[in-house]
Amino acid sequence: MSVSASFSFPTPIIFGAGTLAELPERLQKLGVTRPLVVTDPGLLPTSAYKKLANVLGHSIRGWALFSEVHPNPVETDVIKGAATYRQEQCDGVIAFGGGSALDVGKAVRLLVKRPELNLAEFDWRETWSGLAPCVCIPTTAGTGSEVGRSSVIVIEKTRRKAVLFNPALLAALVVLDPELTVDLPPKLTAATGADALTHCIESFTSPQFHPLCDGIALEGIHLGVKALPCAVRDGQNLEARGIMLMVAAMGAVAFQKDLGATHSLAHPLSTVCGLHHGLANALCLPVVMRFNASRKSGLYRRVGLACGLDLVKVSNSEADRATIEFITNLLLEIGITPGLRAHGVTEAHVEAMTPQAFADGCHATNPVPVTAEDLRSLYLQAL
């Protein structure tokens, strides 16, 4: 084998119900005495936030709050968060919430280090050592941003999502406490869970060489297809909630290997139409899987096996068909209404989104090549 590659899985993680209680001790070990909590306004009235405030209030002398993160985070969120960090004389970040809050919390540290930085000109090749410590605490099980090396931010000038990537953005600690996710409504549980599964499926089928990620992705699929319906039906099921937190983290670790065309379609659906990223992925995934399978037979056999299907003796085309049908039915089972039209997307949106989707880098590692016209056709099929 002539392949050359490098692999890394360094993020420290603590997992389990009640692990939030370990936060003060962990902050002390990181040298953080005055953290900035970065979150979104919707979390402030929740029991999850109250648990965090209670833990910090009893154990930390002082902490600050920035809670203006948008559902699809924008450049201004990062700028304002960094300004709050400096004004409050903080020495670390607690990114608390869904993927948006986690992405902003990680990115804030870039502008703390270099206030003059224009995020639109961020260069991932620069050295970013010495960023402030960041603890990521997800309250949803979807993006896996807590273990990621990047932040996805909408840049004001282009109105498009930019991926700010650098290994220095990795969190110093991740807390996966399923008690913080029990109040997530069924629809959001479904959308975020579908996001995690999409990460696993797309990363596994990416042609990039990364066997470690392949194994993690397949196990993420195996765990997720069982746990997600349980978590949607019963939000208080801590076992299912915990497993989905792990699936989300596994999906994000796996997509170190890269993603595919589903994500290229989904990103403009968020910026142009305001769709939740996980929902956008769920609406596009079956269509993209059918397209990929039509050009690369047998692509989804091992995905189907991970789902628990008996596909050992069937043909490649039958294995693909059964797997895609299983994923389609799973999305229906968790309450995701198929069809982009049902979520406000029109043909006019398709014309605006297609160039953005083709400019998105994710489809470059799709298992089969796609053209701009292919992406436009996929949007129309997904309508």
135: which strand partners? 94, 173
pLDDT at 286: 98
CA–CA distances in Å: residue 176 to residues 65, 120, 160, 262, 375: 21, 31, 30, 27, 36
295-332 as b/e: b if 16+ CB within 10 A: ebeebbbbbbbbbebebeeeeeeebbbbbbebbbebbe
pTM for the predicted model, two decimal places: 0.92
**What is the spatial distance between Cα 122 and Cα 124, in angstroms, rounded to a whole number?**
6
pLDDT at 122: 87
**What is the spatial distance between Cα 197 and Cα 251, in angstroms, rounded to a whole number?**
7
Three-class secondary structure assignment of the chain: CCCCCCCCCCCCEEECCCHHHHHHHHHHHHCCCCEEEECCHHHCCCHHHHHHHHHHHHHCCCCEEECCCCCCCEHHHHHHHHHHHHHCCCCEEEEEECHHHHHHHHHHHHHHHCCCCCHHHCCCCCCCCCCCCEEEEECCCCCCHHHCCEEEEEECCCCEEEEEECHHHCCCEEEECHHHHCCCCHHHHHHHHHHHHHHHHHHHHCCCCCHHHHHHHHHHHHHHHHHHHHHHHCCCCHHHHHHHHHHHHHHHHHHHHCCCHHHHHHHHHHHHHCCCHHHHHHHHHHHHHHHHHHHCCCCCHHHHHHCCCCCCCCCHHHHHHHHHHHHHHHHHHCCCCCCHHHHCCCHHHHHHHHHHHHHCHHHHHCCCCCCHHHHHHHHHHHC
**What is the spatial distance between Cα 258 and Cα 199, in angstroms, rounded to a whole number?**
9
pLDDT at 60: 67
Domains with residue ranges and CATH for the chain:
13-181 (3.40.50.1970), 186-382 (1.20.1090.10)
Q: At 193, give phi and psi (nearest 5°).
A: -65, -40
Do the beta carbons of residue 250 and residue 367 sit within 8 Å? no
342-353 as b/e: b if 16+ CB within 10 A: ebebeeebbeeb
Q: Given the DSSP bridges, would you call strands 64-66 and 92-97 parallel, antiparallel or unpaired?
A: unpaired
**What is the spatial distance between Cα 247 and Cα 216, in angstroms, rounded to a whole number?**
9
**What is the spatial distance between Cα 261 and Cα 360, in angstroms, rounded to a whole number?**
9
Profile the chain (383 residues) by mean pLDDT over runs of 10 residues.
62 92 95 96 95 85 92 93 96 96 97 91 87 96 92 84 88 96 95 97 96 96 98 96 96 93 96 93 98 98 98 97 98 96 96 95 97 98 97
Do the beta carbons of residue 252 and residue 295 sit within 8 Å? no
Contacts with 379 (C-beta within 8 Å, 6 or more apart), sequence order: 265, 340, 350, 353, 354, 357
pLDDT at 42: 94
